[in-house]
Amino acid sequence: MHPASSLSPRRRSGASIALVLSLIALALGLLTPTPASAATLQEVTGFGSNPGNLQMFRYVPDGLPTGRPLVVALHGCTQSASAFDDETGWTKWASAWGFALVLPQQKSANNANACFNWFQASDFSRGQGEALSIKQMVDKMAADYGTAPSRVYVTGLSAGGAMTSAMAAAYPEVFSGAAVVAGLPFDCARSVTDALSCMSPGKDLTPKQWGDKVRAADSGYSGSYPTVSVWQGSQDTTVAPMNMTELVQQWTDVHGTDAAADVSDSVQGYPHKVYQDSAGHPAVESYSITGMSHGQPVDPGTGPAQCGTASQYLPDANICASYQIGQDWGLTSTDGGGSLPAPTGLAATASTGTSVSLSWNAVAGAASYRVHRGGTEVGSPTATTFTDSGLASGTTYSYTVAAVDGSGAVGAPSAAVQAATTGAAHQCYTDNNYNQVAAGRAHQSLGTVYANGSNQNMGLYNLFVTHTLEETSPGYLVVADSGCPS
């Protein structure tokens, strides 16, 4: 996006020099170089008629087999493909989990700020403009790499997030999932002036009015729609936070469910809601990043769930959005190229302080199953139940399961399900703000630190301010400088 300050050509871009320098100073010494890889971001030409006049870039890990997933990642205003691949973490996960990545790039000739033209019907409609160009890129990847047609996903930031909504609406048969980061509902605007109003203060329509816009995008379509996750900073002054509510209303209506969350919990201390379809599967999810301004959250570091490079519109918020999105899409499960479908009905049936029990529906032709926790295989049962043990109490884990046929080929993974062990952490931690963030007990936004869960202001992000945090429930911490229970 630019992303942030300018989804449209008339929004001003940039941040203060002081803010940029402070972010750079905070990042110095914290970023670890990514291991070398022969795979690089490459431009592709001749991918179709390209009516939107876009550029196509792709990142394909070395030796990627056929039948693997594809993620389309759409940058924000003033950004480019090369500024949105490693920085967001997507290339890290493509290499680690084995999927292809396409990064469409806008041209300044189409938009002065390099924003995707999400507010022009000629570019967001099926069979036209930029939307069709992006669809042609997906077709090119299918022809070149045999992309699994049931495992194509799209995500984007700000203007790219708004275009993500458009792709999910215009081509619902192409995408299995869509993740809108600091973006807008589909068909929210049809001019630059309208776009500015849509961004802030936002538009308040009924769920049916929003849903009708999606259904009108392909009026003859009668199939299923992509699952949708919505990410939004609570302090976003560029794309008003109310847009998260409107997006949830739009897509829950499309999926035929209401806008009352079936699950309300937290992920890395941030409010998370799940809206399930009639079969009990996640249809829409929302992640509200407390205290964050406009951008896509990253979590620089070498940890198994960390990613990205903090910069303008990519704030270090102690959560890696691309990691969590990939988890939700089941990208963490290794697929052996088998033809068996993804198991349905994966659910946590019981939990203790150290274990989680799972069950799922049988897949015809399956000889066994592979269970993955956070992308790591933890079991291969022949039954449709499994208990994962030896876990930490009061902790949330993410699981997927895939069916294995008689030849050992692994089929498509299920949608991810989150399960928590019982027991309250209720521990106390005294440390400086920098270390509290590094340990995952707090997060920082624009140089200010907030406790995870409670979002209490802890002061400046540095080594000199010290606080005691009490974890009163898993992932929920409060400032307890006056004393902490033993």
For residue 130, what is the domain's CATH number?
3.40.50.1820
> What would the pLDDT profile of 406-438 be if each residue is shown by its tens digit?
766 777 778 888 888 887 556 788 989 888 887
CB-based contacts of 229, cutoff 8 Å, min separation 6: 177, 178, 179, 180, 284, 285, 286, 287, 325, 328
CB-based contacts of 390, cutoff 8 Å, min separation 6: 354, 355
Q: Cα(9)–Cα(414) distance, rounded to whole angstroms?
A: 40
- Residues 467, 415 share a domain: no
- Residues 376, 273 share a domain: no
Q: Cα(169)–Cα(173) distance, rounded to whole angstroms?
A: 9
Q: Cα(6)–Cα(115) distance, rounded to whole angstroms?
A: 8
Q: Cα(202)–Cα(232) distance, rounded to whole angstroms?
A: 14
Predicted local distance difference test score (pLDDT) of residue 435? 85
- Residues 380, 304 share a domain: no
Range of the domain at 450: 428-479
- Residues 415, 442 share a domain: no
Band (pLDDT 50/70/90 cuts) for residue 66 is confident
What does the mean pLDDT of the chain come to? Answer: 86
420 compared with 81, residue with greater pLDDT: 81
Asked whether residue 180 carries a pLDDT value surpassing 70, the answer given is: yes
Using the 3D structure, point to which of 294, 328, 362 is the last residue of a domain.
328
- Residues 257, 158 share a domain: yes
Q: What mean pLDDT is predicted for residues 324-341?
A: 77
Asked whether residue 377 carries a pLDDT value surpassing 80, the answer given is: no
> What would the pLDDT profile of 181-209 be if each residue is shown by its tens digit?
999 999 999 999 999 999 999 999 999 99
In a domain, 97, yes or no: yes
In a domain, 335, yes or no: no
- Residues 436, 414 share a domain: no
Cα–Cα–Cα angle for 164, 226, 290, rounded to 5 degrees: 60
- Residues 181, 61 share a domain: yes
The answer to whether the beta carbons of residues 462 and 433 sit under 8 Å apart is: yes
* Number of independent structural domains in the chain: 3
The residue type at 481: D
CATH number at residue 393: 2.60.40.10
Using the 3D structure, point to which of 328, 359, 389 is the last residue of a domain.
328
Band (pLDDT 50/70/90 cuts) for residue 155 is very high
- Residues 392, 279 share a domain: no
CB-based contacts of 187, cutoff 8 Å, min separation 6: 124, 166, 169, 213, 214, 216, 217
In a domain, 8, yes or no: no
Q: What mean pLDDT is predicted for residues 264-272?
A: 92
- Residues 302, 285 share a domain: yes
Residue 34, both tokens:
């990514």
Q: What mean pLDDT is predicted for residues 3-10?
A: 40
Using the 3D structure, point to which of 266, 301, 328 is the last residue of a domain.
328
Which of 391, 270, 388, 399 has the alpha carbon at shortest distance from 332?
399
Predicted local distance difference test score (pLDDT) of residue 397? 79
Band (pLDDT 50/70/90 cuts) for residue 278 is confident
Q: Count CA within 13 A, CB hemisphere, residue 394.
A: 12
In a domain, 57, yes or no: yes
Catalytic residue among 5, 133, 158, 445: 158
222 compared with 24, residue with greater pLDDT: 222
> What would the pLDDT profile of 201-247 be if each residue is shown by its tens digit?
999 999 999 999 999 999 989 899 999 999 999 999 999 999 999 99
Q: What mean pLDDT is predicted for residues 88-102?
A: 94
Q: Where are the beta strands (DSSP E) in 290-355?
A: 347-351
Q: Cα(149)–Cα(289) distance, rounded to whole angstroms?
A: 32
The residue type at 159: A
In a domain, 313, yes or no: yes
Q: pTM here?
A: 0.68
In a domain, 92, yes or no: yes
- Residues 162, 82 share a domain: yes
Asked whether residue 31 carries a pLDDT value surpassing 80, the answer given is: no
- Residues 458, 380 share a domain: no
Give Cα 168 distance to the centre of its chain.
15
Predicted local distance difference test score (pLDDT) of residue 474? 65
Asked whether residue 486 carries a pLDDT value surpassing 70, the answer given is: no
In a domain, 3, yes or no: no
Predicted local distance difference test score (pLDDT) of residue 29? 30
Q: DSSP assignment, residue 82?
A: G
> What would the pLDDT profile of 255-266 be if each residue is shown by its tens digit?
999 888 999 999
Percent of the chain with pLDDT over 90: 61
- Residues 174, 98 share a domain: yes
Asked whether residue 25 carries a pLDDT value surpassing 80, the answer given is: no
The residue type at 208: K
Q: What mean pLDDT is predicted for residues 257-276?
A: 91
Band (pLDDT 50/70/90 cuts) for residue 335 is low
Look up 150 and say whether it is catalytic: no
In a domain, 403, yes or no: yes
The answer to whether the beta carbons of residues 130 and 123 sit under 8 Å apart is: yes
